[in-house]
Amino acid sequence: MEANLAGMTRSRNPKFGHYVGEFLTPGIGHILAAAGCDYVFFDMEHSGFSFETLKQAVRYFEAASVPVIVRSPSKDYDVIARICDAGAEGIMVPMIKDAAEAEQMVHHIKYPPVGGRGVALGIAHDNYHAGGVSVSERLENANKRTTFFALIETSEGAENADAIAATPGVDCLWVGHFDLTASLGIPGQFENLDYLTALGRIIQAAKNHNRSLGRLVGSPKEGLADLKQGFDFCCYATDTALYQGALVAGISELRSAVNDG
């Protein structure tokens, strides 16, 4: 397995990760590494995590050699550039609707001549290096390292999935399944033909342009079904769901045993 996200997106071998949106401790990176995670999905859109928290989190995951995909809370340049400067290897941007928007996000993420990201060196994203490598080489290396995950989660995005996948700089199509059903007017109806048609369009777009394909899943069964359809980034469960599920099961078993006794 490649040790960085850019390398992972060039392979169609399965990559397994976990979502962190609530529980963040200095040991979280090592906990994920010990569990065999290839990457972490760190959510700034729905978590309330701040940029200061992000800078700490990136170091926790770096210490355990777990690459970080950060979901941005917006498409704004100032937000995305700060996520990059904090050291995130992967940038996931929500609600990508068409190729023009995908191209704009690549422009935010990449340094010239590929994009228009503002240059700041000797900070978190290049491990505070004082020098020794030319500026042009440092920018080129950052562009190679920084990876764009286009989150497709609207009916418009699904319609334009092929053009989004064809956009240079898009490394992975990520399916936001709950938002996609909501956008289609069928919230939570994952067996509905409209959803399956939109999903199939995204899957085919990734295949057409040899892009990675990812999704958050709630169970191993779900993940295995995705892998059979062509997904290669499988993000297993949210931290809250896993914690709550284990806690509910344990407490229920104890309470049931006491009541039966």
User: Known catalytic residues?
Assistant: 46
**How far apart are alpha carbons 97 and 261 in whole angstroms?**
58
3-class SS of residue 71: strand
- Contact in structure between 174 and 206 (CB atoms under 8 Å): no
Sign of CA dihedral 7, 12, 13, 18: positive
In the block, tokens 């989190």 appear at 57
Tokens in use for 14? Answer: 């399965």
Least Cα distance to 51 among 9, 8, 81 occurs for 81
Write the CB contacts of 179 (distance below 8 Å, at least 6 apart in sequence).
94, 95, 153, 154
Sign of CA dihedral 181, 214, 232, 38: negative
